[in-house]
Amino acid sequence: MACISLSLHRDQVCCACSYKEKKLNRFIKPDYLNEYNDGKDYTPSYNIAPTDITPILISASKFKNAAQTSRIIKPMMWGIIPPWHKGDYKKHNLSTNNCRIENIKSSKLYNPIFRDGGRCIILVEGFYEWQTSEKTKNKQPYYIYMKQHPNLKVTDQTTWSNKFNENEGWTGIKLMHIAGLYHVWRDENVIIYSYSVITMESNETLSWLHHRMPAILNNEIEINAWLDIDNVNADMALEYLKSMHILEWHPVSTMVNNSKNKSADCNKIINREKAKSSQKTLTSWFTTNKRKLSEYEEKESKKVKL
C-alpha cells in the first residue's frame, strides 16, 4: 500500500469513528489528542504518502490522564521510526511504511512494539494500489474502498451526509479501518508518533491487482479486539486479522503517481480503455519524435565531418 486518501477534517474523523461504550446506550466520539510531531500536522488530502501525518485510532489505556474516552485519535507520521535510531528521524534508512503480518513475531523492530501494546488503526476513505499482475511498463493505479450506502458515491462529496448524533452515530462515508503498529520515538527534545501498516497476502478479491493487501478490520468486534490492549493479548489479537472480501474499486488517473497531486481528481473514475489509448498515443508521439531527432542529429553529424 503506497498511498491513501482521507479528505475529512479532524472533527469529522472523530465523528466517523464514533462508537458505543458498554455502559452507555449512545454513540460517543473519541477524543482527539494533538501531538507536535516536529511541527507536522494532519492535512486532509486525496493523496497521502509515507512521511505524511494522518489521524490514528488507538486505545486510551496509556493516556488515561489526558483522555475522557476509552479510544482516542492521535496524529502520527506514516513510517515507524526505529526505537534505536538517533539523530535526524528522516535518515534511519529503513523501509517501515508497511509491516508484513508473517514477520511481526520474528521482527527485531515490530515484535517488541507489538508485545508492548503498540496496536493502532489507520483511518482512510480508501487506498491506491498499482496493478502488478499485468506485465506492463505503465502500471494502472486503482482506488480501493469500503462498500458504501446505496446513495453514497465515494467520488462525489455532495452525496456524503456526514452527520453525527448520539442516537444514530455517523451517517456519512464509511471509513476503512486498517490494522497497524505505532511507536513513540524520542530523541532529545523531539517526540514523534509514527506507525506502520500491516499487510498480508491478497485473497481472491484483490489478487488480480496485487499480491499484498492491508489488514482491514471488518466490524466493531474486530476493531474493539485490536484496540483492547488490556484484555486481548498480542497473539489473540493477531487472530482477528483476516483478509477483507467485500471491497469496491475503480481505475484512476496516473496523476496519483505523484504525491504532490493532492486534489479530488486523484480518486475520480477514469475510462481505462481511453487511458490506454491516450498512453499509446503519447508513447507513439515520443517514439516518432525521438526517431526524427536521431535522424536530424545524424545528418548534422555528417555535415560537420564534411
> pLDDT per residue over 215-250, tens digit each?
999 999 999 999 999 999 999 999 999 999 999 999
- The pLDDT confidence band at residue 134, using thresholds 50, 70 and 90, is low
Q: What residue spans define the domains of the chain?
A: 3-270
Instruction: State pTM to two decimals.
Output: 0.88
Among 282, 253, 288, which residue's Cα sits nearest to residue 267?
Answer: 253
From 3.30.465.10, 3.60.15.10, 3.90.1680.10, 3.30.497.10, which CATH number describes the 3-270 domain?
3.90.1680.10
Q: Is the pLDDT of residue 81 over 90?
A: yes
| Beta carbons of 101 and 199 less than 8 angstroms apart | yes
| Beta carbons of 140 and 271 less than 8 angstroms apart | no
Burial pattern 35-53, b for ≥16 Cβ within 10 A else e, equals bebeeeebebbbbbbbebb
Contacts for 46 with CB less than 8 Å, ≥ 6 apart? 5, 7, 262, 263, 264, 265, 266, 267
Q: Is the pLDDT of residue 135 over 80?
A: no
Distance CA 38, CA 48 (A): 18
pLDDT for 282 equals: 41
Q: What is the pLDDT of residues 183-218, one digit of tens each?
A: 999 998 899 999 999 999 999 999 999 999 999 999
